[in-house]
Amino acid sequence: MKHTFDIAVFEGDGIGPEITQPTVEILQKLAGQSDAYELTFKDAPAGAAHYAKTGASLPEASMDIARQSDAILLSAMGLPNVRYDDGTEISPQIDLRKALVLFAGVRPVTIKAGQTTPLNLPAGREVDFVLIRESTEGLFHTQGRGEVTKDEARETLLITRDISEKLFKFAFDLAKTRKSTGRSPGKVTCVDKANVFRAFAFFREMFDAEAAKHPDIAADHAYVDATALWMVQKPWDFDVMVTENMFGDILSDLGAGLMGGLGLAPSADIGLDHAVFQPCHGSAPDIAGQNAANPMAMILSAAMMLDWLGLRYDNPVMVADGVRLREAVETVVAKGAILTRDLGGTASTTQAADAVWGALA
Ligand SMILES: NC(=O)C1=CN([C@@H]2O[C@H](COP(=O)(O)OP(=O)(O)OC[C@H]3O[C@@H](n4cnc5c(N)ncnc54)[C@H](O)[C@@H]3O)[C@@H](O)[C@H]2O)C=CC1
Ligand SMILES: CC(C)CC(=O)C(=O)O
Ligand SMILES: [Mg+2]
């Protein structure tokens, strides 16, 4: 039977609409070829431009569309000069993560042999690890509500047992899946700063408790500063890495840099009931409106959406289409003929997306 999935689409700000439109078109064409699933798309207005126009950054009607959907596709939100009255930037994507309890920010870092990277990788070495960034609490807890006086500013780092236990279970389950498919040896690294902060000693304690339930998966710890070093010096040593919100935000941009840029870095924010798929990058206002943005991170995020829906609803055709879509992006990038400016080419957003469809069809 053909299953219909409702996808909420937040096309967001800046380059958002430019990368969302071709991504949705590719998904429509892929689903159109399939007897196993159908996709419907519903626009959910939100973001900085929407706030400037209406005074609402994440309208309740858009939250309803998100809640009622099977999955959420989001480009990027925020513009540096659109701010709330307290001076902080509009960031409804963080509100969405919190409201839908999307605790697991999944950010894969993969470098295939021959892929352009600033790393000097030994011959034959590939990089394939997943950074899981807790996405609802940590140092983002007081987002927009920090205490500021004339002389001091304070924000709170929050680590809760409830979210941490879910996060670590997710990380070990992912490591098991990767190991079972032969993709990795099965290891989870807890990245923290437990040498200095009690909150991270607490984080680590809960990690160790979850690790004890998975004797088949190796578990180790690393401090976040050393992790940044090792991501550059020996990134092939990592398999699944799990960390706090702010640490993960920073390390995932480092991971994107290793892969060749933000334009190639996909992500997913996953909870127990909902999931948002969006690139790691922001709204790139410096190149917005030029048809110059790299659509690959958005297309790869859409591939993660197909994986997630396919596994969740036992739809192997969708999983296979996720793999095909990822391989099509890899083919286009590896050929190097149709690359956007960020990767050293001259292709437009539309030409790059068309090349992905060309590699698929
Ligand atoms: N998840 C989200 O919605 C995120 C939103 N933001 C917001 O986006 C706005 C801009 O933030 P920035 O710090 O400039 O980060 P950014 O990620 O938008 O841009 C950083 C640099 O990477 C380039 N870049 C990013 N994505 C690209 C793509 N697909 N193709 C080619 N080049 C790309 C940009 O041109 C820029 O030079 C801010 O308002 C920020 O708060 C930032 C990060 C994530
Ligand atoms: C507004 C930011 C927290 C978004 C971001 O940088 C990210 O999702 O990586
Ligand atoms: Mg970020």
Instruction: Give the model confidence (pLDDT) of 163-179 as tens digits.
Output: 999 999 999 999 999 99
Return the pLDDT at 45. Answer: 97
Pocket of ligand 2 contains residue 77 by CB under 6 Å: no
Report whether residue 249 contacts ligand 2, using a CB cutoff of 6 Å. Answer: yes
The string of DSSP letters for 11-74 reads --STTHHHHHHHHHHHHHHHHHT-SSEEEEEEE---SHHHHHHHS-SS-HHHHHHHHHSSEEEE
- The answer to whether residue 266 is domain-embedded is no
- What integer is the mean pLDDT of 203-226? 98
Query: What distance in Å separates the CA atoms of residue 129 and residue 82, rounded to the nearest whole number?
Result: 35
**Domain span at residue 84?**
1-100+273-361
Residue 124 predicted with pLDDT over 90? no
pLDDT single digits (tens) 238-287: 999 999 999 999 999 999 999 999 999 999 999 999 999 999 999 999 99
- The residue whose C-alpha atom lies closest to atom 35 belonging to ligand 1 is 284
pLDDT, greater one: 352 or 2: 352
| Same domain membership, residue 127 and residue 110 | yes
Ligand at minimal distance from the CA of 269 is: 2
CA 330 distance to own-chain centroid: 18
| Ligand 1 pocket at CB < 6 A | 15, 76-80, 89, 93, 262-263, 278, 281-287, 293-294, 297, 342
Tokens 């790393």 belong to 119
Residue with CA closest to ligand 1 atom 42: 282
83, 111: one domain: no
pLDDT tens, 9-53?
A: 999 999 999 999 999 999 999 999 999 999 999 999 999 999 999
Q: What is the ipTM of this complex?
A: 0.98
Residues 221 and 354 in one domain: no
pLDDT exceeds 90 at position 87: no
Residue 150 lies in a domain: no
Per-residue pLDDT at 307: 97
User: Cα–Cα distance between 281 and 195 in angstroms, integer?
Assistant: 31
- Residue pointed to by tokens 């070093």: 229
Q: Is pLDDT above 80 for 302?
A: yes
* 120 shares a domain with 245: yes
Both 9 and 66 in one domain: the answer is yes
Instruction: Name the residue with the closest Cα to ligand 1, atom 16.
Output: 282
Query: In angstroms, rounded to a whole number, what is the distance separating the alpha carbons of residues 18 and 294?
Result: 9
Confidence of residue 88 (pLDDT cuts 50, 70, 90): confident
pLDDT at 86: 82
Same domain, 140 and 284: no
Query: How many domains does the chain divide into?
Result: 2
Nearest to 265 by CA among 290, 284, 237, 242: 284
Most ligand 2 atoms within 8 A of CB, residue of 57, 72, 93 to mutate? 93
Q: What is the pLDDT of residue 143?
A: 85
Ligand 2 pocket, mutate which of 74, 94, 252, 262 (most atoms under 8 A from CB): 94
Cα(102) to centroid(ligand 3), Å: 15
Question: What pLDDT is recorded for position 265?
Answer: 97
Asked whether residue 350 is assigned to any structural domain, the reply reads yes
CATH number at residue 10: 3.40.718.10
CB 45 within 8 A of CB 62: yes
**Which ligand neighbours the alpha carbon of 94 most closely?**
2
Q: Are residues 61 and 114 in the same domain?
A: no
